[in-house]
Amino acid sequence: MQFFRPKPPQITVHELKRLRDEGASFLLIDVRQPEEREIATIGGMNIPLSELSEGLDQLKDRRDERIVVYCRSGARSDNAAAFMMSMGFTRVYNLQGGILAWSAEIDPSIPLY
């Protein structure tokens, strides 16, 4: 039997930039390891994917807020967003292309690694 995991909605780096520019309310979560975050970051709370199940306890009161999850390329954050959806988070989005897309399309001063 195969487990069905819903595909989380995606948000582009341009949509995220617009949200930031408009001062919209959302929570940004970086699911990369701390050593990756030291190389490059676009901000937000750091909850590594390997610690996400424990880290969700601190977010239990924010289940219905808009949450954008990111990583380096968008793969880990896609898994994280799907997991969060399965845990009852209702407005969680994966940042397509992750920090690599942010660097390429929004802010080239963000280092690539």
Say if residues 53 and 79 touch (Cβ distance below 8 Å): no
Residue/partner pairs of 56-61 with CB below 8 Å, 24 or more apart: 56/84, 56/87, 59/27, 59/89
Residue 7: count other Cβ atoms within 10 Å of its Cβ: 10
Of 47, 49, 71, 99, which residue is the catalytic one?
71
**What CA–CA distances, in Å, run from 91 to 10, 86, 94, 108?**
11, 12, 10, 29
51 in active site: no
Catalytically active residues, by annotation: 71
